Homo-oligomer: A and B are copies of this chain.
Amino acid sequence: MSTSPLRVAMVGHGFMGAAHSQGWRTAPRFFDLPLRPEMRVLVGRDSTAARAAAERWGWAESATDWRAVLERDDIDVIDIVTPGDSHAEIAIAALDAGKHVLCEKPLANTVEQAVSMADAAARAARRGVFAMVGFTYRRVPAATLARDLIAAGRIGEVRQVRASYLQDWLADAESPMTWRLDSARAGSGALGDIGAHAIDLAQFITGLRVASVSGTLQTLVGERPLLAESVGLSGTASSERGRVTVDDVALFTARFGGGVLGSFEASRFASGRKNALRVEVSGSTGAIAFDLEDLNALHVFDATAPIETQGFTRVLVTEPQHPYVAAWWPAGHLLGYEHGFSHQAKDFVEAIAAGEQPTPSFDDGLQVQRVLESVGASARSGSSWTDVEPNEKEERP
């Protein structure tokens, strides 16, 4: 690793901060990276908490003023893991300051913010400064394999998509409020938080984009105890109550380009489903099915195999021939959730070193944001079909 450093500052330090930190720390150990990530500064609003988090997650220093960090010469990358309402401001300033940016999903809370961010990214890219949005599930080896198989024509023409992200941490009506249930902070609820993953993953795997949607949003439980103390994605309840201002279930039908139909669901009320991000793609000569709760496996159906042995094959995606896997353990030794963050770090660093646009780009993030907004618009107009406005790159100044 006698390589040049890539000096990173991370803004925010919640659950995502831990995951990103683990990605930055681990990636250079298992992959031969062209630049050596250095975990320089962790930025948080509260100096005590930031200092503790920096020590905990292995950042050289901590800071409280992200604007000051942007002015430092010894920082190359800004990694944004704050809630969605602050993404636009930080990311645009960082890009304008010449820092590469990795920004957690969803890109922003509104399309307007996302457009500004994509514009800033376009301006920056012209100066060799790049931005990426953190849809890490693309980098689960089984998901990448699904994309590769479809791109190689292994299931023929794509015919139908089923995508859902099912969780149950709101199934208990007394489970407390968190910032994720407050539209001012989170923008939207199940739709933007987990539905965004389902949209991105379905588009990534199929190579198709959602063109129009007919959707429905619902808030099953409208009032909850306020949060006393945060634990995981939820926490303990206080005696006061607050109003849930986001959806907790989102259902929509999508038309992709080429007339392909898709069904989507995002729910936090799917009892017994903890983190079931599922995508099934039916093609003319095969199918793939993925479930994040069994993330080392991909189920593949091949309609061209001999009829007597056709069926879904459970591929354990742990062979050296599988995406990202050769860097890790022998066959049959499973990877976990956090490995996607190492893969993300690797791909980001490689793109930066090569002076190339990493993916998913802010344009990709914006496009997902447009789908989210169209679902909301459709839901507000009685589920009528609503077009997803395309990113009009050509008009970009």
Contacts and interface: CB of A to CB of B under 8 A. Distances in A.
8 contacts: A159-B269, A167-B332, A171-B282, A233-B330, A271-B285, A312-B314, A334-B336, A382-B384
Interface string A269-291: 11111111000101111110000
B293 A272 contact: no
B309 A312 contact: no
Given A1-B56, A172-B303, A261-B216, A15 B270 contact: no
A149 interface: yes
A67 interface: no
Interface stretch (A68-76, A113-121, A318-326): A318-326
Contacts of A382: 214, 384-385
Contacts of A320: 231-232
Nearest to A295: B334
Interface in A84-142: none
Given A29-B57, A251-B263, A261-B249, A310 B303 contact: no
Contacts of A331: 169, 232-233, 274-275
Given A232-B320, A329-B15, A339-B336, A287 B274 contact: no
Contact of A282 (B55, B168, B285): B168
A178 to B, nearest CB: 11
The size class of the interface chain A forms with chain B is 35 or more
B272 A311 contact: yes
A274 B276 CA distance: 23
Contacts of A218: 259, 261
Given A293-B316, A382-B384, A216 B214 contact: yes
Contacts of A148: 308
A168 to B, nearest CB: 7
A61 to B, nearest CB: 15
A30 B15 CA distance: 12
A64 B288 CA distance: 48
Nearest to A32: B56
A233 B320 CA distance: 11
B265 A162 contact: yes
A372 interface: no
Given A271-B282, A271-B284, 20 more contacts: A15-B329, A22-B29, A29-B56, A159-B271, A160-B249, A160-B269, A160-B270, A171-B303, A172-B284, A232-B329, A233-B330, A251-B261, A270-B282, A272-B282, A274-B332, A292-B334, A310-B315, A333-B337, A382-B385, A384-B384
A245 interface: no
A25 interface: yes
A58 interface: yes
A21 interface: yes
Nearest to A264: B263
Nearest to A338: B329
Interface in A228-242: 231-233
Contacts of A21: 29
Nearest to A318: B274
Interface in A4-53: 15, 18-19, 21-22, 25-26, 29-30
A313 interface: yes
Interface in A325-362: 329-339
Interface in A298-312: 300-303, 307-312
Given A160-B267, A312-B314, A307 B319 contact: yes
Q: Which of A267, A284, A300, A329 has the most CB of B within 10 A?
A: A329
A194 to B, nearest CB: 11
